[in-house]
Amino acid sequence: MPDEGRTGHEVIQDYLRSLDGSPGVYRMLDAASEVLYVGKARNLKARVTSYARAGGHSGRIARMISETASMMFLTTRTETEALLLEQNLIKQLKPRYNVLLRDDKSFPNILIGKEHAFPQIKKHRGKKSEKGSYFGPFASAGAVNRTLNQLQKVFLLRNCSDSMFESRTRPCLQYQIKRCSAPCVGKIDADGYASLVTDAERFLQGKSTTVQADLARSMADASAAMEFERAAALRDRIRALTQVQSAQGINPKSVTEADVVALHLEHGQACVQVFFIRANQSWGNRDFYPKTGSGAEEPEILEAFLTQFYDDKDPPRTILLSHAVDNADLVAQALSDRAGRRVELLVPQRGEKAELVENAVRNARESLARRMAETSTQNRLLQGLAEAFDLEGPPRRIEVYDNSHIQGTNAVGGMIVAGPEGLEKGQYRKFNIKTDAGANSDDFGMMKEVLTRRFERLLKEDPARRSGTWPDLLLIDGGAGQVSAVAEIMAELGVDDVPFVGIAKGIDRDAGKEEFYRPGEPPFALQRNDPVLYFVQRLRDEAHRWAIGAHRAKRAKAVGATPLDEIPGIGAARKRALLAHFGSAKAVARAAVPDLTAVEGISEAMAQTIYGFFHEKG
């Protein structure tokens, strides 16, 4: 083992004696045992030997080596296993010198269900557990909604829920405005609706010209038979279909299915644009801003992006890239294993594919320019905030707290987070108030519960404050009373170095006349036209919006709650089936075991569980 206190390439040399040529993953740690970097290697000894040299490294690698005090190793059976393990550890540990994709949200799809005689077409996000045909991914909910809006005009598929479908006795507005064929009231039979479903699926599979030709033929037949009303309806559908095709934007003829992944790197900041091409149509694009690991180059950034981006998503058959990636064969193999079929990585040099990449690169360059301008503005606001509130420096993490309840019911606390890159929505938290403070409408008590839970967790999980999750500033919705309560809470927790400020509405509760309160200081105000005041107002309003949204969601859930929710093994599907069969939870409670087993999905054992739940409580 290396001597304590030493760092650099000499420390790394000491590990060479214990390594062989196996593939695996290594970690480089600093003197405080914080992970600096996680890497993979086809040959661990060869890779570590390269770090043990005194020179010949880039500035980034040289800095990393100079800070390395120890290393950890884990061998794997294959290089692909090493690649997957490396990316899992990077996501978990977030090392300073690694490239890290910070936005890993799922993407929406269009789902045409298969569990109903008249399938619903709808937006779907998350696990594909429902039976049906999935089409996607789409870059955003907006892209899905636009496509659904047009598809309903063309194919007249219903978008209502199954329960609404069953309850209809006359056509709804969607039928009146020619966006649904009204199967709920028999305006179309099962075979006719199935034909519409088939046409919609063919269009989403890229067979739009065939669909259009069939519609044109049907229109001509209807016109020849003097069925002019039907011919006019078919004409409207053809026009709507033409609108869909023109609204798709980029519609490549030679690329059926691909993701276009383009990177622009400037001054250590990166933007990756991903365009989704499916069925020869563009289904939108999304930009990402990965952390570049203190100066990584394009090949390393793109390799890390691909492996992290497709960690929980199915890759397409082809991925078109703006730059070659490190270990391209290894990345392609890992993605192929995930997809269960061959995935190809291409860096096109000419033709339509190269034009697609060039367009994506241009978007990445423009997006990064906008982002850098916004970041510059945000940094100025944070500097102004530091000056206004006498902070040691611009805060890297601001936490803003607010509570929401109606006469003590369904009380929740909300926390939002902001920093140099704006609002960090992935860091938002809500707190269901568990003490009597909520029922008693005790705002001080609710704030005490929220802050106590928040900081007790921080003290337990990150007492050394290395993870970046400790706030540099707390903003509290309230005046002198709230600030005094917060000061008492923080003193009890032993946290004395996190500044906090109360925001009170001020005279006439008028926006622009806010007063700010700090412990032991007189209240003060900012000029009405001060950009820092507008910034604080936006943060406070966002915290209020978040807390109210959490409260409404909790209230809505409470309205729909029934005793069935408390029975082990009763999920949403069985709950719906029971309520549809019996009409109410009270009727379920009175039902005998044979009656319960008559419900689809309720076995003899489950029926006994339900019966026992209602009859053994007393």
Average pLDDT over residues 125-138: 87
pLDDT confidence tier of residue 50, bands split at 50, 70 and 90:
very high
Q: Is 80's pLDDT higher than 70?
A: yes
Mean pLDDT, the chain, rounded, equals 86
pLDDT in tens, 392-421: 999 999 999 988 866 556 688 899 999 998
Rounded (5°) CA angle 606-609-610: 90
Whole-number Å distance between alpha carbons of 46 and 42: 9
pLDDT in tens, 296-333: 999 999 999 999 999 888 899 999 999 999 899 999 99
Query: What CA–CA distances, in Å, run from 436 to 194, 432, 440, 442, 472?
Result: 55, 12, 6, 8, 30
pLDDT in the model for residue 245: 55
pLDDT in the model for residue 440: 66
Average pLDDT over residues 341-351: 95
Cα Rg of the chain (Å, integer): 30
Average pLDDT over residues 507-532: 82
Cα–Cα nearest to 66, from 294, 266, 292, 265: 294
Backbone angles phi, psi at 28, to 5 degrees: -110, 130
Average pLDDT over residues 275-287: 87
pLDDT in the model for residue 4: 61
Q: What share of the chain in percent tops pLDDT 70?
A: 91
Whole-number Å distance between alpha carbons of 68 and 405: 51
Q: Is 618's pLDDT higher than 50?
A: no
Cα–Cα nearest to 382, from 390, 394, 392, 371: 394
User: Is the separation of the CB atoms in 501 and 516 below 8 Å?
Assistant: yes
Whole-number Å distance between alpha carbons of 330 and 303: 10
Whole-number Å distance between alpha carbons of 409 and 558: 10
pLDDT in the model for residue 8: 87
pTM of the model: 0.73
Q: Is 568's pLDDT higher than 90?
A: no
pLDDT confidence tier of residue 447, bands split at 50, 70 and 90:
confident
Q: Is 193's pLDDT higher than 80?
A: yes
pLDDT confidence tier of residue 500, bands split at 50, 70 and 90:
very high
Amino acid at 337: D
Amino acid at 31: A
pLDDT in the model for residue 506: 64
pLDDT confidence tier of residue 42, bands split at 50, 70 and 90:
very high
pLDDT in the model for residue 186: 92
Cα–Cα nearest to 261, from 219, 295, 196, 309: 309
Q: Considering only 168-182, 251-265, 504-518, 569-583, which range has the smallest mean pLDDT?
A: 504-518
